[in-house]
Structure 1
Amino acid sequence: MRKKLTAGLMTTCLSAATLALLPAGSAQAAEMMCSPGSQKYTWSTVSKSPVVTHRKAIEHYTDGTVVKTVSAQSVTSITASVTATSGVEVSGNVALASLSGKVGLELKAEGSKTKTTAESIQHRLSTRGKYVLYAGTMKTQGYYTQFRCDRGTRWVNTGNYGKAISFTVATEGGLRCGTSVPAGSLAAYAKRYC
């Protein structure tokens, strides 16, 4: 019995000695789950929708194929922006970078705006009928909640929340009215102007 007790005490002492010899930094690093002071955003009600920013309706009833260049007027403008809880400062570009990762699109930085002057659009007209030439983008928006890393051990809700809006690269094109186009595409949205 005394031998078992002695052996147990020796094992305990050796374990304690081993722990004491481990570098303090190693033990702390193992406990870190985030970088102290860093921030992250969680998103809800995120949406993506095509928006036509410029359009021009034309008709083609001449024989043969014609390449037409038109000056399409601006009909809608989008500004990338981030709103926050009253009195709170939030880095708009950091929030939009987070939203960009969420939706898998390259979004424009805060303050960016779609072109408000006329857009020159070229399209080949080969079939008789009415056409809509257009330019547009994918508008993205969502509501965020901000979290801060507390001493590297947990994420803490800062109580800061708000809304972010942005858009991706511009796209242009043309369609003959009556043509079938994919649902949810920019062309499908442009068909309403036929």
Structure 2
Amino acid sequence: MNKRIAAAAAGTTLVASALVAVPATTASAGQLICDPGSRSVSWVSTSHSRVLTHEPKGLEKEYTGGKKTYTRTVTHEKTLTSTWSVTAGASAGFSVAKILASLDAKVEGSYTHAKGHTTTKSITVSDQLTKKGRYWFYAGRLQASGYWQGYRCDRGTKWIKQAHGTAKTYGALVEGATRCGEKVSSKSIASLVQKKYC
């Protein structure tokens, strides 16, 4: 079964300090444990899920087999946003790119590193069918969110909590068609479609 996956969102170079583990204790006198003034992001909790951004569209009747390309229009169902917020503390030294890149590295999948939202338009999905069965055309994305804490390195001897907040983001568009009963990854958008519509 052929599936087309849109190109993954462009990656943002990870700032090394964003992924440094925050030590539990401060350093001994004169010992440096971090670069003075650097920032680090730590995640208290994260989650990720699969989301159908467009309502799946099935064929009018069961496909009889043979190699043929079908096209269906799927209507918009849900808009996803990519953003971050500071619940408390000073946000200086932290940015949307740093926070979302760190979230991307923490959870499974590949996500956008910039603020934005998904399309609200209906889209056309095409796929080549080969086997007899009932098919559903779909479009969806991965979504991730989490609660973060930001730390600043003070004179190189200890990490000081500077800010905390929430963040959420989404991945590249995944579209195609899935046949009811075919084997697909349990972590795929196609699996979500089968569970809801087959």
Q: Which moved more, 1:172-181 or 1:182-191?
A: 172-181
Secondary structure at the aligned position of 2:120 is classed as coil
Runs (4+) of structure 1 exceeding 6 A deviation are none
Aligned mates of 1:151, 1:103 — CA distance in 2: 31
Is the counterpart of residue 69 in structure 1 residue 65 in structure 2?
Answer: no
> How far apart are 1:108 and its partner, in Å?
0.9
In structure 2, the partner of 1:161 is 164
Residue 137 of structure 2: aligned partner: 133
Q: 1:93 aligns with which of 87, 94, 97?
A: 97
The CA deviation string for residues 65-123 of structure 1, in whole angstroms up to 9 with x for no partner, is 33101121121221101122157535222111111222264321332222221222111
- For residues 63 and 140 of structure 1, do their structure 2 counterparts lie closer, same or farther at Cα, with a shift above 3 Å needed? closer
Work out which structure has the larger RCO, using CA pairs closer than 8 Å and 6 or more positions apart in sequence.
Answer: 2
CA contact (8 A) 2:151 2:161 kept: yes
Contact 1:72 1:134 in 2 (8 A): yes
The amino acid that maps onto 2:122 is A
Map of 2:21 onto structure 1: none
Aligned to 1:12: none
Query: CA contact under 8 A between 2:57 and 2:138: conserved in structure 1?
Result: yes
User: Which residue, out of 102, 106, 111, partners 1:102?
Assistant: 106
Gaps of 5+ in 2: 1-29
Greater Rg over alpha carbons, structure: 1
TM-score normalised to structure 2 length: 0.72
Specify the alignment match of 1:25 in structure 2: none
Range 179-188 or range 30-39, more displaced: 30-39
Corresponding position of 1:31: 31
Matching of residues 1-194 of structure 1 within 5 Å: 31-54=31-54, 55-58=56-59, 59-62=61-64, 64-86=66-88, 88-89=90-91, 90-103=94-107, 105-158=109-162, 160-191=163-194, 192-194=196-198
- Comparing 124-133 with 32-41, which one deviates more in the overlay? 124-133
For 1:173 and 1:135, locate their aligned partners in 2 and report how far apart those are by CA, in whole Å: 7
Please list every run of 5 or more consecutive structure 1 residues that lacks an aligned counterpart in the other structure: 1-29
Provide the C-alpha distance between the structure 1 equivalents of 2:102 and 2:87, rounded to a whole number of angstroms. 18
Q: Which amino acid aligns with 1:174?
A: A
Greater alpha carbon shift after TM alignment, 90-99 vs 52-61: 52-61
**2:169, 2:190 → 1: CA distance?**
20
The one-letter amino acid paired with 1:42 is S
User: 1:77 touches 1:116 (CA, 8 Å); kept in 2?
Assistant: yes
Percent of aligned pairs with the same amino acid: 33
8 Å CA contact 1:39–1:147 kept in 2: the answer is yes
Equivalent residues of 2:87, 2:166 under 8 A apart: no
Whole-angstrom distance in 2 between the partners of 1:106 and 1:179: 25
1:116-173 Cα distance to aligned partner (Å, 9 max, x none): 2122211123334331111222111111111111111111112x21111111222112
